[in-house]
Amino acid sequence: MADRATVEDGARARPARARTFDVPESGRTIDIALIFGLSVAFGLVGTALVLGGSVSSFYNLPSVLIVLIGTFAVTLVSFSLTELMGAFGAVLATILPKRYDHRLAGERGLNLAAIARDNGVLALDHVLPVIESEPFLQRAIAMTVDGATPHQIDQVLAQEIDAVQDLRHRYAGVLRRAAEVAPSMGLIGTLIGLIQLLGNLNDPSSIGPAMAVALLTTFYGAILAYMVLAPIAAKLERNAEAELLECEIYHACAMSIARQENPRLLERLLNTKLPPSQRLDYYG
């Protein structure tokens, strides 16, 4: 609490311009759009199945195995097991994504710049424990406090941003590849079912199960690809773009502090990055 008070006192060094240095305790929230969208989509499919007849006729274990395990196996050929597991972890993270407020991020950076300008860069050392919930910002400010040159800060932070974004897009690429494979596995299952059907036309009892495998694998493949994998891949890419903008804001703030620039210049720079509806008016 003492550290937080120090930050807030430092931020008030400019009486008419100070803003609350707010770092939320929890930076994650439930993605209502994701849950609502998937719920409505599967709800509509389920309703159609119920109204159309027997739901049990839409379940076939061989079809499920062909699509799920087949999609996993073929996708694994294109990526490593670590990347595949990381993609599954990223899917789970989309349910509780980090909450990004780019305007608030800009205000945090301007508060830090004001503290550094009024009290010196070393005064930011007391701020580091307060911003531990923002690891990238904490590392960026720590480099300025440690006396790194603007060139060093720019090089390290730019490389870190590139590495993180490459990882995020790689996970989205895994899901997009799986979305391409799933319908193909459905088609393979359909071919298997048709071959079984044509090979046993003299046995009427085998026609039904063979036809079920033929049709349901295509159904499962389409559901998995177009209702789950592709939309979540798009969500991962969207979250990556939001994370990139926040990192760029913190990057610009650290560079400005290291160069000992006037915070007004930093505000103008940040406003070129922010959408018009989130522009800063810290200095009017």
Q: Which two tokens stand for residue 259?
A: 């160069």
- What is the model's pLDDT at position 189? 86
- What is the model's pLDDT at position 27? 61
Please provide the DSSP assignment of the chain as one string: -HHHHHHHHHHTTSTTT-------S--B---HHHHHHHHHHHHHHHHHHHHHS-GGGG--HHHHHHHHHHHHHHHHHHS-HHHHHHHHHHHHHTTSPBP--HHHHHHHHHHHHHHHHHH-GGGGGGTTTTTTTSHHHHHHHHHHHTT--HHHHHHHHHHHHHHHHHHHHHHHHHHHHHHHHHHHHHHHHHHHHHHHHHHTTT-HHHHHHHHHHHHHHHHHHHHIIIIIIHHHHHHHHHHHHHHHHHHHHHHHHHHHHHTT--HHHHHHHHHHHS-GGG---TT-
**Tens of pLDDT, residues 141-161:** 999 999 999 999 999 999 999
Q: Enter the pTM of the model.
A: 0.80
More confident of the two residues 21 and 45? 45
- What is the model's pLDDT at position 226? 94
Average pLDDT over residues 59-75: 90
Task: State the angle between helix axes of 135-145 and 150-199 in degrees (0 to 180), rounded to the nearest 10.
Answer: 160
**Tens of pLDDT, residues 162-218:** 999 999 999 999 999 999 999 999 999 888 878 877 777 777 776 766 777 778 889
- What is the model's pLDDT at position 72? 94
Task: Assign 23 a pLDDT band (cuts: 50, 70, 90).
Answer: low
- What is the model's pLDDT at position 40? 94
